[in-house]
Chain A
Amino acid sequence: MNTAALALRQARYEMRAFWRNPAAAFFTFVFPLMFLVIFNVVFGNGTIEAPGGEINFSTFYVPAILAFSVISACYTNIAISVSFARDRGVLKRMRGTPMPALAYLGGRIMQAVAVALILVVIVIAAGVVFYGVEFPGDKLPALAVSLIVGAAAFCALGLAITAVIPNADAAPAVVNASILPLLFISNIFIPTSQAPGWLNDFASIFPIVHFAETLHGVFNPFETGSGFEAKSLAVIAAWGLAGVAVAVRYFTWQPRK
C-alpha cells in the first residue's frame, strides 16, 4: 500500500477508537454542540452589533462555534490523543513497523479533519434549521477556504504543542491552558466588540481571533462580496507554518520519562 492508502486506513482505525473513548468523544465532539445549544438558549433572542448592522446572537454563535469545533477536533484532539499515544508507547511501536511516519501522522490528521467536518455539517445544519441562520451560499468558497486553512493550521499546532507536553497526565491541562483563555478573548465564547483595545490587540497576536473573524465575515449578511479575509487567512497560515516547523524539529516518538 502507498502512503496515502496507509494513512486512510490508519484514520479509519483511529476513528473507531475515537468514538469508543468516552473522554475523547465527549470533550472533542459533544462539547462544541453543547456550547452551541447553551449560547443559543441563553442569548438566542438578542441582537448584537456587527460590521454593517445588527445581527442575531445565533448568527454570531454559529460561526463562532464552527471555529471552536475545528479547534476542538484538530488542535485539542490531536494534542491530547498523540500525547497519550506517545506515553503509552504506541508511537514508538509504530516507528518500529514499516509504516512511514508520514502515513501515521497523516492518518491522525485525516481522522481529526473528518471529526471537524462532521461537526461543521451539524453546526451549520442546526444553525439553519433551528436558529434561523442564513446559509451563506454565495460565500461558500470563502467558507471552505477558511475551514481548510484553519483545520490545517490547528492540526499542525496540535502536533507542535506535544513538544511541550511532558506526559499524558499533563496533556489536558497544557492543552486547555493554552486554548481556553484565548477562546474567551477571541470573539468566540463572548463577543469582544466591547472589550478594551489592549485585550483585543493581545488576542490578535494569536490565530484564533483571526479564524473567528473569517467565519463571522462569511455569515454576516451585511458583508457583501466574496467573504475572503486575506489578512486573517495569512495570520492563520503563518501560525500553521510555525506549527509545522516546531513539529518537524521537536516531535518525538519516544515516551518522555
Chain B
Amino acid sequence: MTDLAIDVRGLRKRYGDLEAVKGVNLQVARAEVFALLGPNGAGKTTAVEILEGHRERDGGEVRVLGFDPGRRERAFKERIGVVLQETGVEPYLTVEETVELYRGYYPHPRPLDEVIDLVGLTEQRRTRVIKLSGGQQRRLDVAVGLAGDPELLFLDEPTTGFDPAARRDAWEMIKGLQALGKTIFLTTHYMDEAEILAGRVAIIRRGEIVALGSPRDLIDTEARTLIRFRIPPGAAGLVDGIEGADVQPDAYVTIATVDPTGILHLLTGRAIDRGVELGELQVARASLEDVYLRYVGEDPAQESAEAAPSRGSRRRGRS
C-alpha cells in the first residue's frame, strides 16, 4: 500500500488537434490538500475529470487510491467523492432526502446528521433544493460528495460565485474536512483560497505543470517586494537612479525590488530632505497571485478575464 493518494505520470489527452494535457506528472500524498491552479482552457478540468474517472486519458500512468480511474471500478467510486462545477441534484427533494439518497449508494456512508452538520445545512435540512440559495446549494453539493465518507474528495471550483462571507465559511468547512484526515484535490481560480487551504499547489498552463510546491516556497521564488506610493507635487527627482521604478502618468510609482530595506531608506531619506510625504505608501510581499501571474500572465490568450483587473485593487488593500 502506497502512501500516495494520487500518482500521475506522463498524463496525456488530446481533443482533435488540441493537446489539452501534455505529459503531466503529479503526486498527492494521503491527507494532503492539493490545489491545481490555471486559467480557463489550461487543461485543469480535463486533468481532474480523468482522475475522477469521468474522462478517458490518451496516455500516461494514473493511479488514484491505487486504482486506475479509467476502468471506473465500483470499488474505486466507493472511495472517492466528487463535487463538480455544476450543481447536479434533483431540485424537488429536500436537503435531507438528497443526502440520504446518495448515502444509499455507498457501503459505509457517513451518518446523515454528521454530513448535514459538516456543511452547515442543519437549519435547512427539510428545505427543498429548489428553495436553497446558491451558496446553500453549493454546500449541498459538498454534502453529496461527502455522503459516502470518501477518503479522497475532488472539489472543482467549490466557491465560485460565493459572496465573501460564504467563501470564509466554505474555507472553514474544507479545513474541517482536512482535520478528518481526508485527501482533498481542489481546483480554484482564487489564489487566496489556494494560499489559505492548500499544502501544495501546482500551476498548469497550456497542458503542462509550470510550477509545483507549497504556496510559501513558490512565493519565496518570487523574491521581489513591491513598494508603491504616489509622488507628491513638487518632489521631482525622488526616484532618480532607482532601478525598476515604474512611474505612471498619474504619479503612482511601483518599485519591484529584492532590496526593499535599502530602497526604502533611500526614498524616505529623500522625502525627509524635501519635506514631503510618500503618498499612500505601501510595502507588500509578493503573493501567490503574483507568482501565478508570472507563470500564466504572459499568455494573454489564456489569461482569465478576472485576474488582471484584480491585481492593482488587491495590492492597494494590502498595505
Known: A13-B101, A16-B97, A20-B128. A96 touches B89 (CB 8 A): no
B52's nearest neighbour on chain A, judged by CB, is A96
Contact of A90 among B54, B77, B90, B104 (CB under 8 A): B90
B residues less than 8 Å from A92 (CB atoms): 54, 84, 86, 88
User: Which of A6, A17, A21 sits near B105, CB closer than 8 Å?
Assistant: A6
Report how many residues on chain A are interfacial, defined by Cβ distance under 8 Å: 24
Query: What distance in Å separates the Cβ of B160 from its nearest Cβ neighbour in chain A?
Result: 14
Cβ-based interface call for A88 (8 A): yes
Interface residue? A9 (CB, 8 A): yes
Contacts of A85 in B (CB 8 A): 90
Q: Which residues of B contact A18 (CB under 8 A)?
A: 92
Interface status of B74 (Cβ within 8 A of chain A): yes
The majority secondary structure among interface residues of chain B is loop
Kindly state the separation between the CA atoms of A85 and B254 in the bound complex, as whole angstroms. Answer: 52
CB-based nearest B residue for A104: B105
In whole angstroms, how far apart are the Cα atoms of A17 and B101 in the complex?
12
Q: Which of B54, B78, B87, B97 contacts A98 (CB 8 A)?
A: B78
Inter-subunit contact B93/A88 (CB<8 Å): no
Contacts of B86 in A (CB 8 A): 88-89, 92, 255
Q: Is the CB of A97 within 8 A of B105?
A: yes
Q: Does A256 contact B (CB under 8 A)?
A: no
Residues of chain A within 8 A (CB-CB) of B171 are none
Interchain CB contact (< 8 A) of A88 among B54, B88, B97, B144: B88
Looking across the interface, which residue of chain A has its beta carbon closest to that of B77? A98
Once the chains bind, are B77 and A97 in contact (CB under 8 Å)? yes
A106 within 8 A of B: no
Contacting residues, chain B, for A98 (C-beta < 8 A): 74-75, 77-78, 105-107, 148
Mark contacts of A8-22 with chain B using CB atoms, 8 A cut-off: 1 yes-contact digit, 0 otherwise. 011001001110110
Q: How near does chain A come to B105, taking the closest CB pair, in angstroms?
A: 4
Interface residues of B in 77-101 (CB under 8 A from A): 77-78, 80, 82, 84, 86-93, 97, 101
A87 to chain B: closest residue by CB: B86
Contact status B93-A89, CB under 8 Å: no
Instruction: State which residues 54-88 of B face A: CB under 8 Å.
Output: 54, 74-75, 77-78, 80, 82, 84, 86-88
User: B23 in the interface, Cβ–Cβ < 8 Å?
Assistant: no
Enumerate chain B interface residues (CB-CB to A < 8 A): 52-54, 74-75, 77-78, 80, 82, 84, 86-93, 97, 101-102, 104-107, 128, 144, 148
What would 16 more interface pairs be, CB under 8 Å, given A89-B87, A96-B82, A98-B77? A6-B105, A9-B104, A16-B93, A17-B92, A20-B93, A88-B91, A90-B88, A90-B89, A93-B82, A95-B54, A96-B53, A98-B74, A98-B105, A98-B106, A98-B107, A98-B148
